[in-house]
Amino acid sequence: MRFFKWAGSLILILILGAAIILGTMRLGWWNPSYEQVKAEYATPPSEFIQVGDASVHIRDEGEGPVIIMLHSSMANLRQWDDWADLLKKDYRVIRFDWAPYGLTIDPNPPTGMPGAVQLLEAVVAQKQLETFTLVGSSSGATVSVLYASAHPEKVRALALSALPLKAPPPTDFSQLTWGLIWVHQNLIPNYNSRLYYRQTMSELYGKPERLTPEVVDWYYKTNTIPGGYARVRAYYEANKKAVWATGAGDYAAKVQAPILLQWGDRDPVLPIDMATDAVKQFAGTDVTLVHYPDTGHYPMLENNVETGADLKTFLAKVHANETGQ
């Protein structure tokens, strides 16, 4: 009898403990502050520039032909660390966080990818850039296509990774990951734990062992800034109406610049057959498709050496006669 009383007390304590943890998470007590994350991740060469109403976190490094890098959803300019280090010896590499992601703050309601295009247009104008190559990943690759279709005179080439030209299908996550997603969406919608990012990111990699604690850490901290998830939800809803209602295929057909399309064979977000479909939609230009076995959704993070070498070879051909800007 005493055992059952002890077990019942223990269960009650566990339930109360779980309720306290979930409650404080919902209240935002576990979220790192914007200033904390900024102090850690906006170290030199980071700077902040005012672009319209937005305070934009940006890095502008190196000299030579200009390369602009646009990260994927839920990421930020840190996604390009390895490729930027590889390229900035020969190129001027510009990368920035586009709202609602990273450390860029835009007080205006999100408008989906068209808002990212407008921000890119404003950065290009403020930096007085003439021509450049766009490097984009996932939704950042789609933003690159939208921009290139509207400004063919600006874009020398595009290097795109895992490009969605239509709304991505549901991701084939494990039951464990879908369980974590349900918990965070329904019980603690304003806080995603490190465990959540460690688990979901590992399933987005072709080889989970390539995922580093550093990548998990900056995904966790930059996305868990107070108010971040509300901004992302608003962005997704706006983008359903702005781009995914019809897809980006018509924009792709207008692109004139040569394209390097890099794709992981084990991408669970955008299966490899979507790469073949994407190539067909670029009717006005040449596309070089390179795919990588055992690589998932983030070639630049998990297979940076091989993919970076292919990117550098492509850029060398594109900018062979350029001496800088």
pLDDT in tens, 241-283: 999 999 999 999 999 999 999 999 999 999 999 999 999 999 9
| pTM for the model | 0.93
Please determine, for residue 10, whether its predicted confidence score (pLDDT) is greater than 80: no
Could you tell me if 223 and 314 lie in one domain?
Answer: yes
Q: State whether the Cα torsion 110-131-279-311 is positive or negative.
A: negative
Please determine, for residue 325, whether its predicted confidence score (pLDDT) is greater than 60: no
In the chain, the number of structural domains is: 2
Does some domain include residue 246?
yes
Could you tell me if 301 and 256 lie in one domain?
Answer: yes
Q: What is the largest CA-CA distance in the chain?
A: 86
Could you tell me if 135 and 109 lie in one domain?
Answer: yes
CA 119 – CA 313 distance, rounded (Å)? 29
The range of the structural domain enclosing residue 299 comes to 34-171+218-318
Could you tell me if 83 and 10 lie in one domain?
Answer: no
Does some domain include residue 199?
no
> What is the structure's pLDDT at 62?
97
CA 154 – CA 254 distance, rounded (Å)? 14
> What is the structure's pLDDT at 37?
97
> What is the structure's pLDDT at 324?
45
Please determine, for residue 38, whether its predicted confidence score (pLDDT) is greater than 50: yes
Could you tell me if 236 and 284 lie in one domain?
Answer: yes
Write the pLDDT tens digit of every residue in 189-242: 888 999 999 999 999 999 999 999 999 999 999 999 999 999 999 999 999 999
Could you tell me if 113 and 258 lie in one domain?
Answer: yes
Could you tell me if 254 and 268 lie in one domain?
Answer: yes
Residues 6+ apart with CB under 8 A from 309: none
Could you tell me if 163 and 244 lie in one domain?
Answer: yes
Could you tell me if 109 and 125 lie in one domain?
Answer: yes
> What is the structure's pLDDT at 185?
87
Percentage of the chain surpassing pLDDT 90? Answer: 84
Q: CB of 325 within 8 A of CB of 129? A: yes
